[in-house]
Chain A
Amino acid sequence: GAGVSQSPSNKVTEKGKDVELRCDPISGHTALYWYRQSLGQGLEFLIYFQGNSAPDKSGLPSDRFSAERTGGSVSTLTIQRTQQEDSAVYLCASSSGGVGEGSWEQYFGPGTRLTVT
């Protein structure tokens, strides 16, 4: 089936504007992760959703960042009042979310490259 998809692929925004990034996980995957890839910090975890449980927000860098997952499928990452240091590639991954080892593998989307000017 289709892999993880993300939109837009590129986003250029002015400092101070809000942006929304979208992730469509693999159909049937209950676990969804957001990561950020930047030159200075490498790949960092942001937030994790598993089924109907409360999300693990421990990686969010500030309260300007939030995410939601509607209907257990599509997720939107929102960054309010963007800053230049938010420029990065935002990656989404999903896994099937079951209890067995075969369900733990994370599949990554192509990412959204965010540039804050």
Chain B
Amino acid sequence: AQSVSQHNHHVILSEAASLELGCNYSYGGTVNLFWYVQYPGQHLQLLLKYFSGDPLVKGIKGFEAEFIKSKFSFNLRKPSVQWSDTAEYFCAVNARGNTPLVFGKGTRLSVIA
């Protein structure tokens, strides 16, 4: 069965600090990988996705993620966070195609001034 592990439950950063959120997955086949974000009071939004090709993917709002197949990892990064990045971040994986997503438990990011 697929599983997703997010290493950090809650991360607190100052504005302009760099961010890296860890995500590892367990699955025996080829996967799609996603990061979703949920801002306070809002619904899940797609931040970025990886299907195939270049393992370094860029998403919205300056976020990027790198797929490292040998490590089963898909870590999320941003060079300089802003207060508006305060949100909960979910890593998700599914099998290739239109298949259900398996989510990590989420990482809450708090950015302080």
**CB distance B98 to A50 under 8 Å?**
yes
Tell me if A72 is interfacial: C-beta within 8 Å of chain B. Answer: no
Segment at the B interface, from A16-24, A61-69, A97-105: A97-105
**CB distance B43 to A105 under 8 Å?**
no
Tell me if B103 is interfacial: C-beta within 8 Å of chain A. Answer: yes
Q: Which of A45, A107, A108 contacts B102 (CB 8 A)?
A: A45
The A87-117 residues at the B interface (CB cut-off 8 A) are: 91, 93, 95, 97-99, 101, 103-111
Dominant secondary structure at the A interface? strand
**How many residues belonging to B are interface residues under a CB distance threshold of 8 Å?**
24
Tell me if B13 is interfacial: C-beta within 8 Å of chain A. Answer: no
A57-95 interface code vs B (CB 8 A; 1 in, 0 out): 001000000000000000000000000000000010101
**CB distance B103 to A43 under 8 Å?**
yes
Chain A residues at the B interface, C-beta cutoff of 8 Å: 31, 33, 35, 42-45, 48, 50, 56, 59, 91, 93, 95, 97-99, 101, 103-111
* Contacts A42-B105, A110-B42 supplied; 16 other A-B pairs, CB < 8 Å: A33-B100, A33-B101, A35-B103, A42-B103, A43-B101, A48-B99, A50-B98, A93-B101, A97-B98, A101-B51, A104-B51, A105-B46, A106-B101, A108-B36, A108-B45, A109-B43
